[in-house]
Structure 1
Amino acid sequence: MEQISIGSVVKLKSGSPLMTVTGYGTKYGAGSILKTLVEDKEQVKCQWFDATGTLQEDTFPVASLQLA
């Protein structure tokens, strides 16, 4: 089975736009800083374009995503 990695196209299991994984690691504290390229892949940083064509970015738990 293919695993989620940088460059993977994913979506939320509950439904979402298609998103591209741009980083992974652990989200520290309440902030949105994501340490990338570490072994612990708890959180995944994704980018996507919304309905207006604006680039969006956020972090998601790996368990909430599936490969598109």
Structure 2
Amino acid sequence: MEIFEIGQIVRLKSGGPKMTVKKADGQDGETPIWACQWFDRNGKLHADSFPEDMLDIFVTKTYGSFDS
């Protein structure tokens, strides 16, 4: 079962920059591998592939609504 979708924003479980899922990139045994892209602080594009177990979906925190 693939838990990520193309274009989804993810982050390594250990931290680091937000990355965009580019494509499924095969499997390492039973673990799917995902190709991701991200920009560094200088705007340089990087790409690498990571096992699914190393990635988390990036979720922005919301602090409620100011509407009454």
TM over 0.5: yes
Identity of aligned residues (%): 40
Rounded to whole Å, the distance in 1 between the matches of 2:35 and 2:27 is 10
Residue 51 of structure 1 corresponds to which residue in structure 2?
Answer: 41
Amino acid at match of 2:7: G
More strand by share: 2
TM-score normalised according to structure 1 size? 0.72
Which has the higher relative contact order, 1 or 2, with Cα contacts under 8 A spaced 6 or more apart? 1
| C-alpha RMSD over aligned residues | 2.0
**By how many angstroms is 1:47 displaced?**
0.4
Count of matched residue positions in the alignment of Structure 1 and Structure 2: 55
**By how many angstroms is 1:4 displaced?**
1.2
Pairing partner for 1:65 from 41, 55, 58: 55
Runs of 4+ in 1 over 6 A off after TM superposition: none
Secondary structure at 1:6 match in 2: coil
- Structure with higher Rg: it is 2
